[in-house]
Amino acid sequence: MREDAAGKSTAKQTDAERYDALIIGAGFTGLYQLYSLRDRLGLNAQVLEAADGVGGTWYWNRYPGARCDSESHSYCYYFSKELVTEWEWSERYPGQEEIRHYLNHVADRFDLRKDIRLGDRVISARFDDAETLWHVTTEAGRQYEAQFLITGVGCLSSANVPDIPGLDDFKGDWYHTGSWPHEGVDFTGKRVGQIGTGSTGIQSAPVIAEAAKHLTVFQRTANYSIPARNGPLSEDFKRYTKEHSDEIHETMLAGPNGHPFRIEDRPVASVTPDEQREIYEAAWEKGGLRFRSVFKDLLTSKPANDTAAAFIKTKIRAVVKDPETAALLSTIDHPFATKRPPVDSHYFETFNRDNVSLVDIKTNPITRITPTGIETTAGHHDLDIIVFATGFDAISGPLLAMDIRGKNGVTLKEQWAEGPKTYLGLQVAGFPNLFTVTGPGSPSVLTNMPVAIEQHVDWITDCIDTLLKNGKSRIETTPEAAEEWVGETTAAANATLLPQANSSWYLGANVPGKPRVFMPYAGGMAHYRKRCNDVAADGYKGFVLS
């Protein structure tokens, strides 16, 4: 354990386990943060994880069809060349089980498990100003202390189960996709109702439909989706990604979203309508999130966006045979990609099956759940199983789920009563030595997550190293820096069409009572990385080191 600035241990004799740093969560963030603090800085670091295994999001989200929308050769760590070279992905998009295997491999490969405590859910963290120490308590009643506290709790880990009257009386089984039973769910012969048509629902519906007797999809907001075109990776492609890993990584770092493709430097209006259609057609065939990258102004110009939206709506209507269902699926109330754009494997085709029906709960809302199914204002649907693909209390939710108290006992809930306020998404004023990896105000969910995570972990690791090497014990942002950054985050969002999606979880609009604030930083990952580096180079401008 490192000693404090004065070279003495200031620990009081308590029952608490004492560390230099505590890390909450053993997903992509926790594993890399542990490796960085322990193996690079030589600190005594400990990960506390609620689940019984590593993997974070990929531990919990075991719903049918769970798969990442980022391409596998980019949805991984790049901090270790050996790791990039030795791991082999099997499909264009990695499935949940494969990602979980990957993260378990990382835990073993870097000998991380010995410093990860599983099944130990953090419920509270309190900062002791006099001692510059975080006191952390877990559900099991264990006490920990550490100079630094780093949250790696993910942006999409607090399940949002809507408060629909009658759920307790439902005689069948119900599940939220974000905490799916490990043994799976047998849908054979069952009448299944799925609420939600976001990325998750769009992935799960086709798979559930194959097994269930009948699937009823309850749709509140129709969604765009691009075919994923998933499939096994060829040996040539696998070799290519290993041999060109540096170039691929450079591309990921250079772009606004951390994906392994460039955004074309042409506006929609620079080509004729016929050329636009050809370009969209080719992108549709290629599939995936790359669709967004064919023009540079799809997220900044409404007329440009309208061309992509019209193309996708036409595609939906061409796929779905029943005109009423096609109309419901293609009447979309927001510009393309202003909600996180899903990619799918035969989602729209699923509605051509005899055992699948679509229910419009925007026009006829759900009134209650009955012992035997779901009632809407238009009638009752008999069900054996309800699947809630209803998303998450995103970004700020997992942080607020813990009782975090900073200086003078101020809670994070109080501090964020009007919405989250951070400096660079990394720190909250009044909460010294607390770092929030991919917290609100950082690019996080607008990027390919491992890229955002590696950047934050590297920055935090360098910051702690600098602090300790300079004999300092704490770093804390100022309320002024946080206010300014909130302004910049809002301005960055307003420079795009993103705030035009009223029901987006980016805005917190999916959770009743949550302040409507656009949470992720939309100014682009590459720009953001430069900002963070400049701040560090400028003596950690906006932070106070003491």
Give the footprint of ligand N01 on this chain (CB under 6 A): 68-69, 156, 162, 195-201, 203, 220-221, 340, 361, 389-392, 445, 503, 505, 510
Smallest gap, in angstroms, from Cβ of residue 141 to ligand N01?
Answer: 32
Identify which of residues 123 and 159 has a Cβ nearer to ligand N01 in the complex: 159
Smallest gap, in angstroms, from Cβ of residue 405 to ligand N01?
Answer: 29
| Residue given tokens 């009572």 in the structure block | 513
Q: Are 429 and 481 in contact (CB under 8 A)?
A: yes
Smallest gap, in angstroms, from Cβ of residue 206 to ligand N01?
Answer: 13
Name the β-bridge partners of 386. 174, 193
Identify which of residues 219 and 415 has a Cβ nearer to ligand N01 in the complex: 219
Residues 306-342: b if buried by 16+ CB within 10 A, e if exposed? ebbbebbbebbbebbeeeebbebbbebebbbbbbbbb
Identify which of residues 162 and 172 has a Cβ nearer to ligand N01 in the complex: 162
Identify which of residues 200 and 489 has a Cβ nearer to ligand N01 in the complex: 200
Identify which of residues 361 and 437 has a Cβ nearer to ligand N01 in the complex: 361
How far, in Å, CA of 52 to CA of 261, rounded? Answer: 36
Q: Nearest residue by C-beta to ligand N01?
A: 198
Q: Are 389 and 63 in contact (CB under 8 A)?
A: yes
Strands 133-138 and 143-151 turn out to be: antiparallel
Provide the token pair at 171. Answer: 């005689």
Strands 373-376 and 379-382 turn out to be: antiparallel
Q: Are 359 and 214 in contact (CB under 8 A)?
A: no
Q: Are 98 and 73 in contact (CB under 8 A)?
A: no
φ/ψ (deg, to 5) at 437:
-65, 130
Smallest gap, in angstroms, from Cβ of residue 81 to ligand N01?
Answer: 25
Identify which of residues 199 and 345 has a Cβ nearer to ligand N01 in the complex: 199
Smallest gap, in angstroms, from Cβ of residue 313 to ligand N01?
Answer: 17
Identify which of residues 361 and 460 has a Cβ nearer to ligand N01 in the complex: 361
Q: Which residues, 6+ apart, have CB-to-CB distance to 282 below 8 Å?
A: 294
Smallest gap, in angstroms, from Cβ of residue 199 to ligand N01?
Answer: 4
How far, in Å, CA of 204 to CA of 347, rounded? Answer: 9
How far, in Å, CA of 194 to CA of 209, rounded? Answer: 10
Identify which of residues 70 and 415 has a Cβ nearer to ligand N01 in the complex: 70
